[in-house]
A and B are shown apart, each in its own frame.
Chain A
């Protein structure tokens, strides 16, 4: 129930003001969701390193959580290269070579008061209550200069307004896959039980997390992202418009009823997708954009040049 946005700069030499662009796009559609705002950002990757982001909250309990997380990292042979407390988060860059899924599940249980927000070689998710500008003030999103990212503004209708209920969602257990979603998956529990039987863990009851894990599972089996999106339209019931991102690509899928809005604008340099045109206009003030609305039951992907 919300507004979504995504942007990918196709060529590394172009501007790459991804953080600023996403803030502008989300500010443009903040009326769709004033309660919380979040970003999935992709920074530079380094071999055998992971970026971790935990929600720990504030105060003494947060300090205790950080201590426990550090112990858990040590136990799992993850060496901290640098770390930081920022806003509600504990953020760490670690040297790690091992099974990311097992490691992720272990980190999820590292401290009772903490939650993993994202794990990836380049992905970092930033999310909190408040508007795009407020989250930026707290987490310094505008300085971010990666090639692509996703954003989300949330109207909390079915659960509380709290930082960990904000979007985007990370595909729990799979590095670097993130999702923003507007809509509702009606066969959520059926799909979730299927994935759980195969050993996947879920850390929320949110249908966005399900889509992320569903897609990441396909990707890990070697299915290309575009093909996985095509399969999702058959496998997921409900009404949805979602954006997904990986280390190198962003993509979208829209259900066959096409009830949730989505509009896109593409040039040689970038692809920008949002719930409303007002978000796209923020990137190109004063211009009449030749925008496109994706048809029902459609999907597509774009990748950055590497």
Chain B
């Protein structure tokens, strides 16, 4: 038994000692916990940890295997994302107890705070006292047992799992219902109660999902595909795209969900041009050897930085939206070109991990596929707040793509129209976010860079929050970014343009004198090396691209990503369709494309007179349109239009 006194030891040091004890198989006693946050976070050995007092936020969070016993109360996020193992709390637990658990047994002898068991997938959450409002909020599986009163809106938006209630039912959440309970179920609950020595004499009622809201009422018809580039051409009021939109809405009676991004003309990188005469472009036959492009991202606060061979990353795209094969091809290409890949939502596969040299693991509000083990084998962690193509919205994965295999990884029922939560259970403001970041750092020993993905919206404020909360870098995403599935109007009208996003971000950092405190990776319609260089000139530290990589890997841009029957095998989970995708060949295509990007970045940097991508700056750019000039405050120089057209011929 190891005793750790938190009156004398920091939580960070205590957690290291707890993990060391875990490795030796020794139990731990934590004295004077004083409701400190993050106690026991990241522990993956089956030892017993006794907390002699109260614990704060995220006690036993991001763990797999241990047994925790807390004498008194815990703050919010008890047993966050815990896989196997157990937690027994002698007193009360705060909000979102048992959030996102995937098998753990969580026993609270007192009362539960609000939203207990939010997005939980498997395991048991037991409350011997009363629950507060919205217990079982958005739960996907497992069981919640409440011996006392239910609180308001029990089972709000629950998808799967069962809730057993011993006391008074205050009210049911939307799409929840009371149903019959079987003898076996009662026995199973009683066995659980006996095991934890919790007396109970009353009767139980059972609450489950009512099944009215798991799928959209009508599925969207498969329409003859309209190529994206036709789709985005004429942007007048009445055209084929508007016509098709009205036809479909007349059938389904709701907003449409489609793949790809906004197709309106808004000011973009193509409205900027290089100011210097680029006559030298192409003279140097081997610009790559003449320009230093290696870029380190994420090391500002002592974490191990991502080491990119050029200032470029792959944008986050999920396994789910994309097939396993497509993700694997992107990962292989990223490794061959020695840049970083990103898991997006929905978890990490072995194939992807093995193929990508550097992999960022993304955490979203539904915690779909999120877990401590994959966190540890990632090279960076990322908290997704929103995305340029659909700021403020969660992802949509239509039933066709929610196969058994995919559902198992995400921990959700198969065959539902998955509408991922747009909010995190435990991030409701900058103050909560800082505690969440700390949890990630605690769980991974402060080794990995932690980034935040922001869809451009309220950038001026959000970027300050990102600095304040200690993120190592931000992935900033403008409205020209794409998605596998999103509301059509949202893509067109909600975000703000990529060039406006970077300008607002840099202005905000100047305001607070913190440009050197955080790095910015800009994305959202970055098509090639020319765009990437413009992004660097505008002040970003690196660019990221998603759509271009997918197109390089065989995407035909038909915008049917959401349907699930992608003919190329990219945006599908159907094994027959996926079989068409030739991973090795497409990985080579993507890699070859990334190398053209490298050449373009090098050639342009060299032609602008620099030997290092870091030297690129705003003085290298002019604006071709009054709108772009207004947004970027670059000089308006329409006379450069012809030269820009020539450049596209030369560098492309």
Residues of A within 8 A of B (CB): 1-3, 28, 31-33, 155-158, 160, 182-184, 239, 258-261, 263, 275-278, 281, 285-293, 295-296
Contacts and interface: CB of A to CB of B under 8 A. Distances in A.
B429 A183 contact: yes
Interface in B459-504: 461, 464-465, 468
Contact of B75 (A33, A182, A276): A276
Given A278-B35, A288-B90, A263 B113 contact: yes
B37 A31 contact: yes
Contact of A286 (B53, B75, B430): B53
A158 B461 contact: yes
Nearest to B96: A261
Contact of A33 (B34, B133, B431): B431
Contacts of B465: 1, 157-158
B54 A277 contact: yes
Nearest to B466: A157
A263 B95 CA distance: 10
B272 to A, nearest CB: 30
A277 B111 CA distance: 13
Contacts of B159: none
A119 B379 CA distance: 55
A233 B324 CA distance: 47
Among A32, A277, A286, A295, the most chain B Cβ lie within 10 Å of the Cβ of A277
Contacts, number: 108
B365 to A, nearest CB: 13
Given A288-B54, A291-B73, A1 B430 contact: yes
Contact of A290 (B37, B92, B113): B92
A161 to B, nearest CB: 9
Nearest to B468: A157
B57 interface: yes
B72 A288 contact: yes
Contact of A263 (B57, B94, B152, B434): B94
9 contacts: A155-B431, A156-B468, A239-B429, A258-B114, A278-B54, A286-B72, A289-B91, A289-B92, A293-B113
B356 to A, nearest CB: 33
Contacts of B72: 286-288
Contacts of B54: 277-278, 281, 288
Contacts of A278: 34-37, 54, 56, 75
Nearest to B52: A286
A290 B152 contact: no
Interface residues of B, number: 39
A1 B431 contact: yes
Given A32-B435, A157-B461, A258-B133, 16 more contacts: A31-B435, A32-B431, A157-B464, A157-B465, A158-B465, A182-B429, A183-B429, A276-B76, A276-B94, A277-B75, A278-B37, A288-B72, A288-B73, A288-B90, A291-B111, A296-B133
Among A32, A278, A292, the most chain B Cβ lie within 10 Å of the Cβ of A278
Nearest to B132: A293
A281 B431 contact: no
A182 B468 CA distance: 17
Contacts of A293: 94-95, 113-114, 132
Contacts of A32: 431, 434-435
Interface string B38-66: 00000000000000011011000000000
Contacts of A155: 430-431, 434, 468
Interface string B511-522: 010000000000
A286 B132 CA distance: 24
Contact of B431 (A28, A182, A289, A296): A182
Contacts of A156: 468
Contact of A260 (B75, B90, B428): B428
Contacts of B34: 278, 281, 285
Among B53, B56, B152, B431, the most chain A Cβ lie within 10 Å of the Cβ of B431
A277 to B, nearest CB: 5
Nearest to B426: A261
A279 to B, nearest CB: 9
Contacts of B92: 277, 288-291
A259 B428 contact: yes
